[in-house]
């Protein structure tokens, strides 16, 4: 699959930029050897002054913890009904429950380690802002340095499209690239 790159301009200055949709997975490596995968995001980095690949914001802890608690409760009870309820709810067989519990533990650990910080993967800065757009394509996540607003331009259908291979970026538990 290929995607057109997102072209950005500013309503108040002559800034031009691109959002490049590369397929990237982040792998966080904890000091004890545990690895947790997470998706990346594309946000505005105010240190770079451009859209950048960044860490994505962490999911809320409470629902993760609630699911994990419920999973643990289900594996502590031999009752078939509970397991069946789980299979229906999450589409998982009993064998997958352990895997899901491990996944949840990883996500919870990562959410606790990273909090609300979304580091830029280019400069490692933490001043990044969401590239969210309203129905007119105007960015609602932040204001451009000049006081104007960034705008998503209609895709140029004639522009060449690129297929990017899937890439994994390795980070430590502070969200910094491992060299």
Is position 24 an interface residue for Zn ion (rule: CB under 5 A)? Answer: no
Q: Which stretch binds Zn ion (CB under 5 A): 35-43, 113-121, 157-165, 171-179?
A: 113-121
Residues 6+ positions from 70 with CB-CB distance below 8 Å: 86
Cα dihedral 137, 156, 44, 146 sign = negative
User: Whole-number minimum distance, CB 166 to Zn ion, in Å?
Assistant: 22
Contact call for residues 177 and 124 (beta carbons, < 8 A):
yes
Crossing angle, helix 94-114 and helix 61-76, to 10 degrees? 150
Q: Of the candidates 48, 92, 101, 126, which one interacts with Zn ion according to CB under 5 A?
A: 48
Q: How many other CB atoms are there within 10 angstroms of residue 73's CB atom?
A: 11
Q: Please identify, using beta-carbon distances, which residue of 47 and 103 lies nearer to Zn ion.
A: 47
Q: What H or E segment, with its residue span, contains residue 29?
A: strand 24-29
User: Whole-number minimum distance, CB 165 to Zn ion, in Å?
Assistant: 23
Q: Please identify, using beta-carbon distances, which residue of 114 and 144 lies nearer to Zn ion.
A: 144
* DSSP symbol at 57: P
What residues are paired with 24 via a beta bridge? 167
Contact call for residues 32 and 41 (beta carbons, < 8 A):
no
Q: How many other CB atoms are there within 10 angstroms of residue 31's CB atom?
A: 7
Q: Of the candidates 34, 100, 105, 125, which one interacts with Zn ion according to CB under 5 A?
A: 125
Q: Which stretch binds Zn ion (CB under 5 A): 26-34, 93-101, 116-124, 161-169?
A: 116-124
Q: Of the candidates 20, 148, 152, 169, which one interacts with Zn ion according to CB under 5 A?
A: 148
Q: Please identify, using beta-carbon distances, which residue of 125 and 137 lies nearer to Zn ion.
A: 125
Q: Please identify, using beta-carbon distances, which residue of 55 and 67 lies nearer to Zn ion.
A: 55
- The residue ranges that bind Zn ion (CB under 5 A) are 10, 12-13, 15, 45, 47-48, 120, 122-123, 125, 144, 146, 148
């Amino acid at each position: 699959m290929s995607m057109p790159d997102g072209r950005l301009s500013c309503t108040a200055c002559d800034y031009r930029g691109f959002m490049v949709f590369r397929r990237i997975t982040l792998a966080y490596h904890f000091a004890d050897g545990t690895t947790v995968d997470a998706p990346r995001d594309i946000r505005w980095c105010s240190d770079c002054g451009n859209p950048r690949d960044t860490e994505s914001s962490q999911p809320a802890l409470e629902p993760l913890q609630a699911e994990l608690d419920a999973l643990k409760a289900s594996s502590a009870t031999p009752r078939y009904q509970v397991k069946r309820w789980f299979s229906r709810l999450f589409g998982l067989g009993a064998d997958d429950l352990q895997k899901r519990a491990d996944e949840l533990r990883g996500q919870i650990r990562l959410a606790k380690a990273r909090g609300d910080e979304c580091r830029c993967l280019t400069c490692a800065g933490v001043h990044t802002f969401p590239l969210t757009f309203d129905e007119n394509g105007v960015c609602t996540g932040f204001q451009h340095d000049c006081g104007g607003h960034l705008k998503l331009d209609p895709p140029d259908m004639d522009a060449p499209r690129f297929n990017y291979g899937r890439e994994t970026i390795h980070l430590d538990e502070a969200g910094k690239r491992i060299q």
